[in-house]
Chains A and B, each alone.
Chain A
């Protein structure tokens, strides 16, 4: 399930493909090979490399790191551990950065982690209205929708409608708590463990945890937009 082709979480296995023609989701300039953007980027890159400010091998290492090593499976492992280990869960909620580091994750974009827990009474939703702040070490780079105006504008004023667009219908009695990432704190949602999962081990539980469940726009193992 970690690489369910219906999921929008799959990543590392197909990163060599050029996706520039595969997507039409209303964002201009995602680029065809001969686009003006492509030409401008190539020009700037060659200048910066030629002047010695940028090492091409370092660029390759950055791309490789964020395309193949860092993604929401990291966060899913954190969530699954918290589900099976109450002491870990307590540490995670008290000091997210340190508890996530216990599992070997951390660094750029996750220097100061705050983990917030969903309950039947309260559902958490994470947004960055001002840019694209997102917990890279546990979720990877953010999806386009997270960085785009529809989500950034509406998550804080009409989150229930936004959740409905993700197929998440919460009970009317469940309060919604939105975290706007306006400082260098990065937020990850600890979703509720789904019912009927008592027999699953930690690895199987991690497979239920979607990226969206850790942003708050999904629920774990809930099918639909899982």
Chain B
């Protein structure tokens, strides 16, 4: 969705503000939110793409002003309510009031090291041959999905070059709806700054995105 998360090319946020000696977490509650989000993600009640979709569906104003773990927390609250794991009255009371709903898995302490060292790969068997090849000129489609998507607005309608073909991966737009993984070919598509931002752009700038096959079509016109 064209939500508050799609920040590429926006202006007015001011300078980047690196923090000397930055700690991993700025408050104890951030530690807890981080761990809660990862542990709940393991239950199987949703997936990573659904979590991103939940964060992105916050009001854009709220999204842009909130701290990052605040966004994670609010999305986590939304998800446990939406999946029927927690009831609103329980959040108000700060205590469990009804029996738990079943979940597929509960993360145990001794699973953390091996599971997180292995990771959760999202490459899959290709659904068929790749439509595009390295060197192809492609355009990012002009689309405005109301659900989750990983095609940022700033490349839509723009023409670039396929630079790498990565194999097939879980398609986030479908997976976020818990509608199956629907794997698609994934490409690195490189756009010139001129193509994205116009004549005022830095002439030496190029920007690459990871683009799923259904985001792309053969070039509508030559790239700038």
Contacts and interface: CB of A to CB of B under 8 A. Distances in A.
A8 B18 contact: yes
Given A107-B119, A153-B10, A129 B66 contact: no
Most A C-beta atoms less than 10 A away, residue of B19, B76, B113: B19
Q: Would you call the interface of chain A mostly helix, strand, loop, or mixed?
A: loop
Contact of A130 (B5, B28, B121): B5
Given A143-B19, A153-B8, A53 B119 contact: no
Interface residues of B, number: 98
Interface in A48-81: 48, 50-55, 57-63, 65-67
Interface string A35-58: 101101111111110111111011
A106 B113 CA distance: 11
Given A50-B95, A182-B150, A112 B39 contact: no
Given A14-B23, A67-B25, A107 B70 contact: no
Interface in A151-185: 151-160, 162, 165-166, 172-185
A153 B11 contact: yes
B94 A112 contact: no
A183 B152 CA distance: 11
B195 interface: no
Interface of B: 5-11, 13-36, 38-40, 43, 52, 55-56, 64-68, 70, 73, 76-77, 80, 85-86, 90-91, 94-96, 99-100, 103, 106-113, 115-123, 150-152, 154, 166, 169-170, 172, 186, 188, 196-197, 201-202, 204-212
